[in-house]
Amino acid sequence: MKRILITLTFLSGFWASAQNNTSYWQQQVDYTMEVDMNVDNYQYTGTQELVYTNNSPDTLNRVFYHLFFNAFQPGSEMDVRSRTIADPDSRVGDRISKLSETEQGFLKINSLTQNGTTLTYKEVGTVLEVALENPILPGEKTTFNMEFTGQVPVQIRRSGRNSSEGVALSMTQWYPKIAEYDFEGWHADPYLGREFHGVWGDFDVKISIDKSYIMGATGYLQNPQEIGYGYEEAGTKVNRPGGKKLTWHFIAPMVHDFAWAADPEYIHDKRTAADGTVLHFLYKNNPDIKENWKNLQPKTEALLLYFNEHIGEYPWDQYSVIQGGDGGMEYAMLTLITGERTFGSLVGVTAHELAHAWFQHLLANNESKHEWMDEGFTSYISNLAMNEVMEEGKENPLEGTYRGYTRLATSGIEQPQSTHSDRYAVNAAYGTSAYSKGAIFLSQLGYVIGQENLQKTINRYYEEWKFKHPTPNDFIRIAEKVSGAELDWYLTDWTQTTNTIDYSIKEVAEGENETTTVTFERIGLMPMPVDLKVVYKDGTEELVYIPLRMMRWQKPAQNTTKRIVADDWAWAYPTYTLKLNKPKAEISKIIIDDSQMMADINRENNVFEQE
Ligand SMILES: [Zn+2]
C-alpha cells in the first residue's frame, strides 16, 4: 500500500515543485546488476546494465564512473592524503600503505559498451573516464553494458572484509557507480575518504553468494521463499534451490546508491513500525551485544516516528540497521554501524544514521560540496530525537554542539563551510564545521525566524525537495517563503565565510526622566537580530526584540512574556542605543539571547547584572 503511494506522491511532488523551479532537472539511472561473490578470496565478478537518461539540456560526450575500491591500494590518493594530513582518521592512518596484494581493494572494468558499441575508457585512480562513441543528446536514453571484477579490501574505511567486530562483508561503494551530472556539470570526485553525490534511479540487483551467508541490502528481497533466514513469510516453508550458492534478488526504487552486508553469523530480527515500515536488524550472534540489539528495536521505531513527524514521512517500505562498517555510515534504505557499543551509543549512532535517510538520501544535497547540509541537519534532528526517545531531559540538546562550534570559531583553523569536504586543511576543522556548525545553522535559524517557522520550513523542504538534489539556496528560499523574512545574509555569512557573531552590552547608563540608556556593540562581522531579556528588581521581566534591518521583517513573539519591538539595527552601525522606561536602579539583569540559540562566540559580554 505504502509503496503505491510513494510513486504517486513522488510524481505529484515532482510536478508541484517543478512549477516553482522551472529550470530544475535531474539525470536518471536504472541499474540491473548480477554479481557473483567468492567468499574464499573476496573477489567478485559482475555484469551491469545501466540505462542512462539525459534529462539535462546538454549533449554529453563522455561519462565517468566511480571505482571506489581502487582507493584501498598503497599510493592511492586516499592513502597519501591520510599519510600527509596533520590529523589523520585513526581508522585509516597508514593502514592502506601496508596492504598486501591480496588485502587490497580493486574494481576493474573488463568490457564496456554503449548501445552495443564498444567504448574506450581509462581507469584513473578511483575514476573511470569514458569517451562516448555516440553523444547522449538532451532527453535521450542510452544503455551501457559492463563487465567488472572486484576485490573487497580488508576493512579500513566504510567498506571491507573481516571488520574488527568480525563482520565478513561490508559492501558499500562496491560497484562501478556512474558519476552525477547536474546543473554544475560533472561530479567525478576522486574517493579520498569522505562524502558522496549520486544519481537517482532504480536498482535491480542479484547477488550470488555461499549459501551460509545471511545478507542485508538496499532494496526489497524479491525471492524470500527461496532465501529464508527470516525473510520468508512467517510460518511458511522455505524452498532453497540446490547448489552451493544462493542468489539474492533485490529491487530498490528511487534511490541513489546500493549497499549490502553479509555474514554467516548474523541474527536477523524484524519489526513492523506503526507507520508500516518493516525494520530489519542484522547483527552478529555475539552474547555480549544481543540484549542491546534487542532493546535497540523499539527505540529505532520511536526514532523513525519522530523523524516522520518532524521532517516528513519515510517513503520506503523498509529500513535495515546492520552491524558492519567501521563506525556508522548511511546508505539507501539501510545503515552500517559498529555493534559493540554501550546502549546509549548504539541508539545514538542509529538515530544519526537513520536521520540521514532524510537528510542525505531523500533530500540528496551534494555532500561533497555542502557537507554541512546533510551532516549538520542530521546532527540537529537526531539530537532532538535522542532527547525525546531516550528521555534525556536536556533543556538544550545542542549545548555541546554550540560549545564545539565556539572552540572551532576561536581556534584559527576554521574554514568556510563552502569548502569542498576533501579540501579542509585538517580533519578536525571539517568535522566541527560539517556536524556542529551545520547543526547550529538550523537551530540558530529557529532563533532568527522563530520555532514555528523553522518547523514549517523543514516540512516544506521535505515536500518540495524529496527525491531530488537541493542546494543551500533552495533551502534558504523555502525559509524565506515560509517566514517572509530576507535571509540571504544568513546563508552567506554562516556558510560561505568564517565571520563570527559577537554582540555585547557596552554600557548601561542613567537616562533623563527616570530612564535607562543601554548601548550595545556589534563586535563580530556577522549580522543578527537581537533578543533581549530585562529582569527588574521587583521580579518582573520584559523582552525586547531588536530587528535586523536587512531582514525587512519582525519575528513573531515566541511566548506570552511582554515583548517590546524596538527600532531595527542596521548592520553597518557598530553600536545601537536602546532606551528603557525605568531607572537604572530598578534593573537587576539584562541578557542578550537568554535562549543561547544564537552562536555568540563570547557570551561573557552578553550580560549586565547589578545588585
Ligand atoms: Zn552523518
Task: Name the pTM for this structure.
Answer: 0.95
- pLDDT range class, residue 8, cuts 50, 70, 90: very low
- Tell me the CA–centroid distance for residue 51 and ligand 1, in Å: 30
- Tell me the CA–centroid distance for residue 520 and ligand 1, in Å: 38
- Tell me the CA–centroid distance for residue 373 and ligand 1, in Å: 10
The C-alpha angle with vertex 385 and arms to 466 and 603, in degrees rounded to 5, equals 105
- The percentage of the chain sitting over the pLDDT mark of 90, rounded to a whole number, equals 95
Sequence-distant (6+) residues with CB within 8 A of 181 are: 27, 56, 58, 60, 63, 187, 199
Residue 182 φ then ψ, to 5°:
-135, -160
- Tell me the CA–centroid distance for residue 355 and ligand 1, in Å: 8
- Tell me the CA–centroid distance for residue 329 and ligand 1, in Å: 7
**Which pLDDT score is estimated for 3?**
52
Q: Using one digit for the tens of pLDDT, what is the confidence trace for 301-348?
A: 999 999 999 999 999 999 999 999 999 999 999 999 999 999 999 999
Cα separation, 98 vs 95, in Å, equals: 5
- Tell me the CA–centroid distance for residue 444 and ligand 1, in Å: 20
- Tell me the CA–centroid distance for residue 361 and ligand 1, in Å: 11
- Tell me the CA–centroid distance for residue 372 and ligand 1, in Å: 10
Is it the case that residue 186 has pLDDT exceeding 70? Answer: yes
Q: Using one digit for the tens of pLDDT, what is the confidence trace for 112-155?
A: 999 999 999 999 999 999 999 899 999 999 999 999 999 999 99
Cell of 460: 516544506
- Judge contact between 384 and 348, C-beta under 8 A: no
Q: Using one digit for the tens of pLDDT, what is the confidence trace for 377-399?
A: 999 999 999 999 999 999 999 99
- pLDDT range class, residue 22, cuts 50, 70, 90: low
Is it the case that residue 47 has pLDDT exceeding 70? Answer: yes
SS3 567: coil
- Tell me the CA–centroid distance for residue 59 and ligand 1, in Å: 35
- pLDDT range class, residue 2, cuts 50, 70, 90: low
- Judge contact between 295 and 199, C-beta under 8 A: no
- Tell me the CA–centroid distance for residue 379 and ligand 1, in Å: 7
- Tell me the CA–centroid distance for residue 351 and ligand 1, in Å: 10
- Judge contact between 610 and 587, C-beta under 8 A: yes
**Which pLDDT score is estimated for 101?**
98
Is it the case that residue 18 has pLDDT exceeding 80? Answer: no
- Tell me the CA–centroid distance for residue 179 and ligand 1, in Å: 21
- Judge contact between 94 and 106, C-beta under 8 A: no
**Which pLDDT score is estimated for 317?**
98
- Tell me the CA–centroid distance for residue 266 and ligand 1, in Å: 25
- Tell me the CA–centroid distance for residue 378 and ligand 1, in Å: 7
- Tell me the CA–centroid distance for residue 356 and ligand 1, in Å: 7
Q: Using one digit for the tens of pLDDT, what is the confidence trace for 397-431?
A: 999 999 999 999 999 999 999 999 999 999 999 99
**Which pLDDT score is estimated for 195?**
80
Is it the case that residue 547 has pLDDT exceeding 60? Answer: yes
| More confidently predicted of 3 and 303 | 303
Is it the case that residue 77 has pLDDT exceeding 90? Answer: yes
Q: What is the mean pLDDT of the chain?
A: 96
Taken in order 284, 286, 289, 293, is the CA torsion positive or negative? positive
- The percentage of the chain sitting over the pLDDT mark of 70, rounded to a whole number, equals 96
Cα separation, 122 vs 131, in Å, equals: 9
Q: How many CB atoms lie within 10 A of CB 97?
A: 15
- Tell me the CA–centroid distance for residue 435 and ligand 1, in Å: 8
- Tell me the CA–centroid distance for residue 503 and ligand 1, in Å: 32
Which DSSP string do the residues of 518-558 spell out, in sequence order? EEEEE-SSS---EEEEEEETTS-EEEEEE-BGGG-S-PPP-
The angle, 0 to 180 degrees and rounded to 10, between the axes of the packed helices 438-449 and 399-409 is 110
Is it the case that residue 505 has pLDDT exceeding 80? Answer: yes
Is it the case that residue 16 has pLDDT exceeding 80? Answer: no
Residue 495 φ then ψ, to 5°:
-105, -20
**Which pLDDT score is estimated for 4?**
44
Q: Using one digit for the tens of pLDDT, what is the confidence trace for 452-473?
A: 999 999 999 999 999 999 999 9
**Which pLDDT score is estimated for 194?**
81
Is it the case that residue 14 has pLDDT exceeding 90? Answer: no
